[in-house]
Amino acid sequence: MSNPQHHPRYETLADFAAGRLDEARAVVIAAHAEVCEQCARDIDALEAIGGGVLANAEPAAMSADALEKTLAMTGAQIMPAQADERPRPASALDAYLGGRSIDALNWKWVAPGVHQHVMKAQGYRDGVLRLVKFAPGKGVPVHTHKGEELTLLMRGAYRDALGEWRAGDIADLDHEHTHEPIAFGDEPCVCLIATSAPLEFKTVLGKVLQPFVEL
Ligand SMILES: [Zn+2]
């Protein structure tokens, strides 16, 4: 177990525990929880709270919609089916890689020093999951996000305006963040990235590349 310094936002963990994330982001959170004891514990606690709300309700003594109203007040939702379908640690990313190691993937060229492997999430609520590999000194052109972007560092390290990120770390970003991560160190930086909407590039190069590379 590594010792990640950057974790998902609490709301993201709560959404994961409640089965509200799209599959792509759920895979990233599950993969982080595999290497982060702290987040694994938080998810267990959040799941216990969610289960407790339902277990303690007394439907027989309530009107038909009382439970829904109660949950609405707490911000919770009844989604038992989705909760059961959530990717679980250990099987989460393996299912997408089909048993291949990261080195054996069919990496596609994106830009000098940058390659990616795109995986369409095919479970509930979809999303796009990709592995991006940058050589030291290379990065993704500066961009913000129309939707949510969750990044798990698998190997190597990168830095951006927000700090330094290493294996096991999560960057949990939304449309308020603009960033330009650059890999550093001796080995390529490999990131697992889930996006719920296309990236919004700020530079001409990024805008020109976008349709061709599915970024
Ligand atoms: Zn964590």
CATH number, domain at 109? 2.60.120.10
Instruction: Please tell me what DSSP assigns to residue 5.
Output: S
Q: Tell whether 65 and 130 lie within a shared domain.
A: no
Q: Tell whether 114 and 73 lie within a shared domain.
A: no
The per-residue pLDDT for 135 is 94
| Per-residue b or e along 8-27, where b marks 16 or more CB atoms closer than 10 Å to that residue's CB | beeebbbbbbbbbbbbbbbb
Separation of CA 151 and ligand 1 centre (Å): 12
Which structure tokens are listed for 96? 């997408």
Nearest CA to 148 out of 5, 4, 8 is that of 8
Q: Tell whether 68 and 171 lie within a shared domain.
A: no
Q: Tell whether 204 and 103 lie within a shared domain.
A: yes
3-state secondary structure 105-118: CCCEEEECCEEEEE
Separation of CA 7 and ligand 1 centre (Å): 4
The per-residue pLDDT for 42 is 94
Distance CA(136)–CA(157), nearest Å, equals 9
Q: Tell whether 18 and 74 lie within a shared domain.
A: yes
| Spans of the chain, pLDDT less than 50 | 60-62, 67, 76-84, 89, 215
Amino acid code (one letter) for 6: H
Separation of CA 39 and ligand 1 centre (Å): 4
Q: Tell whether 106 and 192 lie within a shared domain.
A: yes
Angle between helices 23-35 and 10-17 (to 10 degrees): 110
The per-residue pLDDT for 82 is 45
Residues lining ion ligand 1 (Cβ < 5 A) are: 7, 36, 39
Nearest CA to 76 out of 101, 53, 104, 103 is that of 53
The per-residue pLDDT for 142 is 55
Cut 0.85: pTM above it: no
Separation of CA 165 and ligand 1 centre (Å): 13
Tally of structural domains, the chain: 2
The per-residue pLDDT for 77 is 46
Which structure tokens are listed for 188? 């390529």
Separation of CA 9 and ligand 1 centre (Å): 9
